A = this chain, B = another copy of it.
């Protein structure tokens, strides 16, 4: 059996995936330290070819990309070795076409070098729950709020803004922007009137329409649950199949204890 390497970017996802794998090899892009993981190897784009050889030497046969990265701001020509120099032109051309094109080209390079490329959700299917209520109970009012929130987040996604909103009684209390989900929930926790009541409403999460689901899916976990409870929400709902549920057992227990529902809406 070959080893699986987690090609780790920033955030908690790489550790969540590594925790589910047997003897994972962890490689991190320089400058994007994964939370709670010590990389076996750090790499940079200028040394891509030696990095691919090092993975093979470590017995890696499959790779999974996990966590947030950005395209590098600069390439240092002095660091480029001849084998990488042969790969860089196509990668740099792809970078000029955007994140999706870059990812496709990176995947192609790994595959050409004999690695299988798996999505995080293939490696750990339990990370992305299918449709169903995982904790608590969903009322018709919650169903209406989820439908309204889904329409709002879909409209926002079309203009490449956040992946979340808070809706209560049909009213949009907050919309996720750059500061992210936790900041949005903190604002709701601090909100008095015009909020219709201090308790109620839901957090909705969904990926952007057309987003490549192998990377950068929105995630829910114990921290989200804690912030949602502090904001007085009735629960958290999300697009089933499009959102990662981190620390599932812990998050479900915390939701039950706090009286919040968790709903993967199909």
Contact = CB atoms under 8 A, between A and B. Distances in A.
A171 interface: yes
Given A152-B161, A155-B158, A155-B159, A195 B178 contact: yes
A191 B172 contact: no
Contacts of A195: 178-179
A165 B172 CA distance: 14
Interface in A114-159: 148, 151-152, 155-156, 158-159
Contacts of A166: 177
A181 B165 CA distance: 17
Chain A facing B: main interface SS = mixed
A21 interface: no
Contact of A177 (B158, B161, B173, B178): B173
A175 B173 contact: no
A175 B153 CA distance: 12
B171 A178 contact: yes
Most buried by B among A156, A159, A187, A191: A159
A185 to B, nearest CB: 12
Nearest to A165: B177
A179 B191 CA distance: 8
Contacts of A172: 161-162, 177-178
A14 B132 CA distance: 50
A165 B162 CA distance: 13
8 contacts: A161-B175, A166-B177, A171-B178, A178-B194, A178-B195, A180-B194, A183-B191, A187-B187
